[in-house]
Amino acid sequence: MEFLIGITGKDFVLTITDTTQARGITVMKHDEIKSMSLNPHSLMLYSGESGDTVNFAEFIKRNVRLYGIRNNVELSPSAVASFVRGELAQALRSRHPYQVNMLLAGFDPVKDEPSLHWIDYLAASVSVPYASQGYGQYFTLSVLDRHHRPGMNVEEVKAVAKLCVDEMKRRFLVNFAGFTCHIVDKAGIREEKIDL
Partner 1 sequence: MEYNGAAVVAMVGKNCVAIAADKRLGQQFTTVATDFKKIYSLTPRTYIGLGGLATDVNTLADLFRVKLNLYKLREGREIEPETFAHLLSSTLYEKRFGPYFVDPVVAGINKDGKPFICSTDLIGCINYAKDFVVSGTASSKLFGTCESLWEPDLGPEDLFETISQSLMNAFDRDAYSGWGAVVHVITPEGVTTRTLKTRMTWSGASPMYLGF
Contacts of partner 1 in 96-125 (CB under 8 A)? 118, 120, 122-125
Among the listed residues 73, 126, 159, 174, the single contact to partner 1 using CB under 8 A: 126
In angstroms, what is the minimal distance from the CB of 21 to partner 1?
Answer: 24
In angstroms, what is the minimal distance from the CB of 125 to partner 1?
Answer: 6
Please report, for residues 90, 132, 133, 179, 181, the alpha-carbon distance to residue 193 in angstroms, rounded to integers and kept in the order given.
38, 20, 22, 10, 7
Name which of 41 and 85 has its Cβ closer to partner 1: 85
How many residues make contact with partner 1 (CB under 8 A)?
Answer: 18
Would you say the C-alpha torsion 64, 84, 128, 52 has a positive or negative sign? negative
Q: How far apart are CA 108 and CA 78, in angstroms?
A: 8
Would you say the C-alpha torsion 71, 75, 76, 78 has a positive or negative sign? positive
- Quick one: how many helices (H) and strands (E) in the chain? 4, 12
Binding mask 21-50 toward partner 1 (x if CB under 8 A, else -) reads ------------------------------
In angstroms, what is the minimal distance from the CB of 40 to partner 1?
Answer: 26
User: If residue 159 lies in a helix (H) or strand (E), which one and from where to where?
Assistant: helix 154-171
Among the listed residues 89, 154, 177, 194, the single contact to partner 1 using CB under 8 A: 89
- The helix/strand/coil state of 167 is helix
Point out which residues bind partner 1 (CB under 8 A). 85-86, 89, 92-93, 118, 120, 122-128, 131, 137-138, 141
